[in-house]
Structure 1
Amino acid sequence: MRTAYLTGLASPNAVLSTLIITTVLAWALVLSIHWTSHAGGEFTDEVALWILMTIGMMAPSAIPMVKTFHRLSTDLDQSSKQSTPTIVFGVAYLIVWGGYAVVAAFLQDTMRTLMIIDDQMKFAVPAISGIFLICAGLFQWSGAKHACLSKCRSPLGFLIGYYEPGLAGAFQVGVRHALFCIGCCWLLMLLVWSGGMMNLVWMALLTTLVVAEKTMPKGLWVARAAGIAFTVLGVAQISLGADDTAYYFDLMSSICGWSA
């Protein structure tokens, strides 16, 4: 019975279910924070929100990599219980992203103190938001983006090059994968300040983009198309200013099938 239980824990379906549950819980807590507290809270609140948001946005896109790692480690690593290396891999991945979230929260708190970001955790000056959007748009076409995205889009290819057996190896591979993911998505994550972190439609749009560019067959071109859209939106924000900015965010949301 114990063997059957451990086998169940180690099954691909169990790994997938764990990731889905983690994502749902993260978003549920994000929604709870949005509904029960104000945006301009304590620094610890900002850190918690950034960590939860990071898990909610990045965990879905990591599903193919985690499932592939699980299969590979189950087949090749007989030194540990079947599920343990996968858990260590996931923990390492989240620790690195957690560090990113803390840095982002610190930047946010600093910019809020300097009144660069308003109480909705959105850039107070449209020109700054526009510059961010243009930079993100150009980055989507860059060699660095392509190099990092290619690692995220090819789980087996990544693991063939970087897999290490044992728990220490699993931790190392998890850290390395997280670093490639940060290299791919660090600027996309910061775009929450352009639409506003309290704008759940904008956050959902960014999450969908992260998942699509990592998992869809034409994900690279999804990333590049998004780059064009960000650039156009950034130019519009700089040119038109605050009065017409909200219209363009609503328009992008409508194009993607959402309503605010």
Structure 2
Amino acid sequence: MLCLSARAHADRGAPDIPSGVSVADAGRVFRAVCILLFIASASATILICRAMADMGEVPMAGGWSMSTAWTPLCGGSWAAAIGAFLGMWATMMMAMMLPSLTPVLRRIHEDAAIAGDARPALFTALAGLFYFMVWTAFGLVVFIGGATLLEAALRWPQLARAVPFATGLAIIAAGLFQMSRWKLALLGQCRQVNSRGVGSAAAAGHGLRLGLACCASCAGLTVLLLVGGVMDLRAMAVVALAITAERLGSAGERIAGASGSLMLGAGVVQLTQAFWLL
């Protein structure tokens, strides 16, 4: 009968590590990959935003305007417009979400190795891929809403004049959401790592669940981004900092509440300005 020593038993339960690669080395490689992805996506986002700024905006009745990202370019098709927007959206979301997502992906990698997944790096990559696929799908919904608003505002000037009021109400609603218990529950789900099983299907399912929870948790801040300008670098920076702070900070719930209070104030200011311009 084959006998195993106590050390052999312990080694048999430990996650497989490729020959010549220590746990510390694997951690450094993981961080390096995440940093490179962030630098690449942030750089691409800056270039895209500058290119979109040169293309101008569509003026609307009521003194506001919308980016040309919501409509096809001259001679272009809707399919091309959707593809361009989703490419911009996915790149932007990677730059905005990676700082707060990286610690979660790291824990996913560790849990996959402990659970006995033969390729924990692939498990983590698939989970991250499906996470961003959820954000990309959400981007399609955002594009449809933005394109519909643009077409309706151009067709009905009275509707366009009501948008500043609707914007103020939307910001107030987003602020109330930031301060709600639902937001806090979703924020907790974004921090959790509950891997179920091993393999590609488990990784995809984990990424989808995490993506859905985070999209819902960021609903209020996403409204702020859309109102501030979906391709505005300052709005992106503010929203990205708020998301990172509330997810990684030790007082994340208080940070979410504080941002909600600020959004309430901004919504009131927006409504006041809309009434003043009547």
Q: TM-score range by the shorter chain?
A: 0.7 to 0.9
The equivalent residue for 1:103 is 141
Structure 1: gaps spanning 5 or more residues: 117-122, 245-260
TM (normalized to structure 1)? 0.80
1:127-146 equivalences in 2 (<5 Å): 127-146=165-184
Q: Percent identity?
A: 25
* Residues 84-121 of structure 1: per-residue CA shift (max 9 Å, x gap): 111111111111111111211221222222238xxxxx
Equivalent position to 2:113, from 50, 59, 74: 74
After TM superposition, give the deviation of residue 187 of structure 1 in Å: 3.0
Q: Does 1:55 align with 2:94?
A: yes
TM (normalized to structure 2)? 0.75
C-alpha distance in structure 1 between counterparts of 2:268 and 2:87, whole Å: 32
Moved more, 21-30 or 217-226: 21-30
* Residues 129-186 of structure 1: per-residue CA shift (max 9 Å, x gap): 2111101100012222111101123x3xx42xx5322221111111111111112012
C-alpha distance in structure 2 between counterparts of 1:5 and 1:237, whole Å: 59
Structure 2: gaps spanning 5 or more residues: 1-16, 56-66, 73-80, 155-160
Equivalent position to 1:34, from 25, 30, 49: 49
Secondary structure of residue in 2 paired with 1:229: helix
The equivalent residue for 1:169 is 202
After TM superposition, give the deviation of residue 220 of structure 1 in Å: 0.6
The equivalent residue for 2:33 is 18
The equivalent residue for 2:253 is 220
C-alpha distance in structure 1 between counterparts of 2:275 and 2:30, whole Å: 45
The one-letter amino acid paired with 2:126 is V
**Contact between 2:49 and 2:232, CA under 8 Å: does it hold in 1?**
no
The equivalent residue for 2:262 is 229
| CA RMSD, 1 decimal | 2.6
Q: How many residues align?
A: 231
**Contact between 1:126 and 1:242, CA under 8 Å: does it hold in 2?**
no
Cα distance change of structure 1 residues 10 and 102 upon mapping to structure 2, 3 Å threshold: farther
C-alpha distance in structure 1 between counterparts of 2:146 and 2:139, whole Å: 10
Cα distance change of structure 1 residues 36 and 199 upon mapping to structure 2, 3 Å threshold: closer
After TM superposition, give the deviation of residue 10 of structure 1 in Å: 8.1
The one-letter amino acid paired with 2:201 is A
After TM superposition, give the deviation of residue 19 of structure 1 in Å: 2.1
Cα distance change of structure 1 residues 33 and 5 upon mapping to structure 2, 3 Å threshold: farther
Q: Does 1:238 align with 2:253?
A: no
**Contact between 1:164 and 1:173, CA under 8 Å: does it hold in 2?**
no
Q: Does 1:201 align with 2:229?
A: no
